[in-house]
Structure 1
Amino acid sequence: MVFVRKVKTASGATAVQLAEYAGGRDRVIEHLGSAHTEAELAVLLDLAHAKLHEGQDELDLDWARPVSGAPVVQAQASQLLIHAIRSAWNRLGFNEIGDEAFFSLVLARLVEPTSKVDSLRVLTELGYEAPHRNTFTATMKRCATRGYRDVIATKCFAHAATAGDVTLCLYDVTTLYFEAEHEDDLRKVGYSKERRVDPQVVVGLLVDRHGFPLEIGCFEGNRAETATIVPIVRQFADRHNLADIAIVADAGMLSMANLHALDEAGLRFIVGSRVTKAPADLGLFLPEVGVSEPAADEQHA
């Protein structure tokens, strides 16, 4: 049986669809649109019920009632949202990339993080003319061959350096899993923060003190977190010819190899550690770099 289905989207809108229950799940027959207000929702629901009963005969009871045609939604678009995102895109200088398909993919994923194919639905709901899905595939290839990441990283640094400073940077990692059966050279099963056993990648992100992104890196899913911080920091420092920066990281990044690598690169660092563990860590590292170990009363301050 066909029924009217309302679904909340990640952007907070309410999608109205005609669907049927088949094979143990709801199958969408037609997507009628997404409503952001009660008025838009009422119009879409009227349209859905009109389509649901379309072509059905009615008894001519000659009741005195106003006659009106079914509401028809000609078009809808989230112009203000699109304008706000494009304005920020241009203000940061990302438009230098000159790839409209790449912008549309970023737009879709900012509104609702999803797959390349499903991004077409998101763009359609926004009222934005979506490219063909093959165009998205070609765009992702251009990202790698034309150095989009380098362009964006340079623009992000320029913005952060102008708006504030980059003498203090914060680093952390996360994991992104894939619903794939087999591993490859990058997507591998490893320690998952979500306790999953799917192939995944490890993503490292370096931000300024306000949380603005400066550098990002992607690693094999089975790489240890402690093995990601030094490559990202070195990549960032080399890209912008920096020498005097301090890196803040949590206890997950704490390893003797990392502390030595950051120190040898002439970079300052602040590493969070549990109070009970900190004296032992400092006791191993500080004497090696010519710093005396804190006194007992200082350790527990």
Structure 2
Amino acid sequence: MKTASGATAVQLVEKRRGVRQIVEHLGSAHDEVTLAALEQVAREKIHAGQMAFDLDLHTDDATTVRATSVDAGGGLVLHGTRPRLLWEVLEQAYERIGFPGAVDDAVFKQLVLARIVEPTSKLDSLRVLEELNVGKVPSYATLKRRLARSVEEKWQDAVSAAAYRFAAGDGAVSLCLYDVTTLYFEADEEDELRKSGFSKERRIDPQILVGLLVDRHGFPLELHFFEGNKAETRTMIPVLDAFRDRHQVDDMLVVADAGMLSWANIQALEEAGYQYIVGSRNSKAPMDLAKTFATKGNHFADGQVIETTTELKKGTESSRRRAVWQYRLAREHRDRRNHTLQVQRAEDIAAGRKSQRKARFLTTGQRKTLTVDYEAAKAAEQLFGLKPDSCHF
């Protein structure tokens, strides 16, 4: 902490029940050399008697390397610090995956690792590299030239191939998981890629869709970008086809959430020869489980799995697929609690105790008066604890 004289005081403190107490005052420093020495004394006192792994780092701190020299008077001069362990771990992971062999470019590696340390813009990544103090930091112009070169030389294909080789090991990757996310841009005008589209956060900023394919452990295998106004369901097949064509993968099983469930996707997956598990929605439960409720009732054992069929429709066409549901007692308790809160909120809005807004089980009557749909609320109770575990495969 700073003292009134402008010096920096070094103290050992601890917090007990929210109150900070000074354990020991070690001294005050008026220069960086004294401050570094006091900090070292503090570390030794804090870690006194504690066992430590011998990592052979040859540093006074396992996470930081301090660059020092001896001045003419025999004192230590602190030139700078850098997070050696963090950077070395990231470099080792980068090399282990095989990226240097795919793209032998130091600037590209610096940008990738800097964005892992702190996800930020291209320009601000240069600031991150300077703070990391890991070597010569490229200029912004150099960075832009490298990115343009990455497109011309198709570095994405090379990186994807390296990632697949690492994930595959001795065998092919046959089980993949697919999902989509959205990236927004602070831009006033749209372009051919950044467009306004459906936003779960109800934002109107231009956006792009990112389709990501990972293996069963979550390791990324394929990454593609799509226009911001493209439907999420139309992104899955192009990503799967690109992955299969790039790596010649046969007998592939893809898992996706309910956002990918559509008639067109199911038909395309089957026509392309993919095996698939696609999530369903709870709104389909009354139809999927109607026969089960009629013949066996609605009592289930904790963890019980119910196999049934579900119907997909498109216009006058329809087809049936296998559906799997699961019951959990803990989920029922959570559903029951949320259900009670939803009914209470609908009642408060209908009675005028809360300002009008959309709520579950809230309907508008013939005279445009708000009422609570208790029949719908009662029907929802039989679905407590049930969730589509996997459907349509």
Task: Give the alignment's TM-score, normalised by structure 1.
Answer: 0.70
Residue 166 (structure 1) aligned to one of 173, 181, 184: 173
Identity of aligned residues (%): 50
Alignment deviations for residues 111-138 of structure 1 (CA, whole Å, 9 cap, x no partner)? 0011111111101111123111111101
2:169 counterpart SS class: helix
Q: 2:149: which partner in 1?
A: 142
Contact 1:175 1:193 in 2 (8 A): no
- Report the Cα distance in structure 2 between the residues aligned to 1:151 and 1:289, rounded to whole angstroms: 42
Aligned positions, number: 233
Shift of 1:276: 3.8
For residues 75 and 202 of structure 1, do their structure 2 counterparts lie closer, same or farther at Cα, with a shift above 3 Å needed?
same
CA contact (8 A) 2:312 2:320 kept: no
Aligned equivalents of 1:292, 1:217: Cα separation in 2: 29
Query: Which protein has greater RCO, CA pairs closer than 8 Å, 6+ apart?
Result: 1
Instruction: State the Cα deviation string for residues 238-294 of structure 1 (Å, max 9, x = none).
Output: 111122011111111011111111101110000011244265793237xx8997778
Larger radius of gyration: 2
Decide whether aligned partners of structure 1 residues 293 and 184 sit closer, same or farther in structure 2, where only a CA change above 3 A counts: closer
Q: Aligned partners of 1:144 and 1:194: how far apart in 2?
A: 31
Residue 111 of structure 2: aligned partner: 105
Cα gap change, 1:193 to 1:292, in 2 (>3 Å): closer
Identify if the C-alpha distance between structure 1 residues 108 and 244 changes in structure 2 by more than 3 Å, giving closer, same or farther: same
Q: For 1:122, which of 120, 128, 139 is the aligned residue?
A: 128
Equivalent-residue separation in structure 2 for 1:108 and 1:131 (angstroms): 12
- Structure 1 gaps of 5+ residues are 5-37, 43-70, 295-299
> Aligned AA for 2:151?
A
1:197, distance to aligned residue in structure 2 (A):
1.2
CA shift for structure 1 position 151 = 0.7
1:92 is aligned, of 79, 93, 97, to 97
**Please, which runs of 5 or more residues in structure 2 have no aligned partner?**
1-5, 7-37, 43-75, 289-308, 324-385, 389-393
Give the superposition deviation at 1:195. Answer: 2.8
> TM-score, with normalisation over the residues of structure 2?
0.54
Per-residue deviation at 1:93?
Answer: 1.0
SS at the partner of 1:75?
strand
> In the alignment, is the contact (CA less than 8 A) between 2:174 and 2:250 conserved in 1?
no
> 1:277 aligns to what SS in structure 2?
helix
Residue matched to 1:74: 79
CA contact (8 A) 2:312 2:319 kept: no
- Are 2:233 and 2:260, in contact at CA under 8 Å, matched by a contact in 1? yes
Tell me the C-alpha RMSD between the 2 structures.
Answer: 3.1
* Structure 1 residue 274 corresponds to structure 2 residue 302: no
Tell me which of 212, 231, 234 is aligned to 2:238: 231
